[in-house]
Amino acid sequence: MRNFDLSPLYRATVGFDRVADLMDRALAADLAQPTYPPYNIEKTDENAYRISVAVAGFGSDELSVELREGALIVAGRKAEDVTPRSYLHRGIATRAFERRFALADHVKVTGASHADGMLHIELVHEVPEALKPRRIEITGPAKGTAVETVEA
C-alpha cells in the first residue's frame, strides 16, 4: 500500500479541503472496508447508476438505506431467531452489516427495491441548471446593449 502525503495540497490550495478529505478517507477505508456483503456498482445510463447488494437471508424489514452527510449507508440487522435449529452446515451468513458509499455532489437516490436476495439502489446524477454549460449570445458593436444568455 502506498502512502500519499496530501499536506502540499492543503498548503497550496484554497477550497479543496473536501477533495483532500475524501481522498484521505478513501485511502484509509480501503484497508478497513469489510468484504461482506458483496456488492456491484453499475452504470445504467449516462447519468444513472445502480448499487446491488447481495443480502440473502434478510427481509426488507431487516434492511435500511439512509443518506447521511453525503454518504449512502446500507445496513442490515437480522432479527433474533428463537427457533432452535441444528445445522449440519451453515454457509449463509446473516450477520449484521453496515456498508458506506461516498456520493458525489448532486447524486440523488431515486429508489430502492429488494427481490431475490438482492437489494437494488437506484441513483441519478442531476446537475443543477446553474452549473450546466450555457452559451452566451454575442451582440453587435452597439454600446450600452445588454448581454443576454441563451440556454444550450
Decide: 100 and 51 in contact? Cβ < 8 Å.
Answer: no
Q: Which of 54-63, 82-91, 138-147 has the lowest mean pLDDT?
A: 138-147
Q: Could you tell me which residues come within 8 angstroms of residue 44 by beta carbon, excluding any fewer than 6 positions away?
A: 50, 122
Decide: 62 and 77 in contact? Cβ < 8 Å.
Answer: yes
Grid coordinates belonging to 110: 431515486
> Could you tell me which residue, 70 or 27, shows the higher pLDDT?
70
Half-sphere exposure of 49 (CA within 13 A, CB side): 15
Q: Which of 21-35, 70-84, 97-111, 129-143 has the lowest mean pLDDT?
A: 21-35
Decide: 57 and 78 in contact? Cβ < 8 Å.
Answer: yes
The share of the chain scoring above pLDDT 90, in percent, equals: 38
Pairing state between β 134-136 and 118-125: unpaired
If residue 49 lies in a helix (H) or strand (E), which one and from where to where?
strand 48-54
Decide: 1 and 28 in contact? Cβ < 8 Å.
Answer: no
The per-residue pLDDT for range 97-137, each reduced to its tens digit, is 999 998 888 899 999 999 999 999 999 998 887 777 888 88
Instruction: Name the most confidently modeled range: 4-8, 16-20, 31-35, 71-75.
Output: 71-75
| pTM over 0.75, yes/no | no
Q: Give the chain's mean pLDDT.
A: 82
> Could you tell me which residue, 120 or 95, shows the higher pLDDT?
120
Q: Is 53 exposed, middle or buried (0-12, 13-18, 19+ CB in 10 A)?
A: buried
Distance CA 20, CA 127 (A): 22
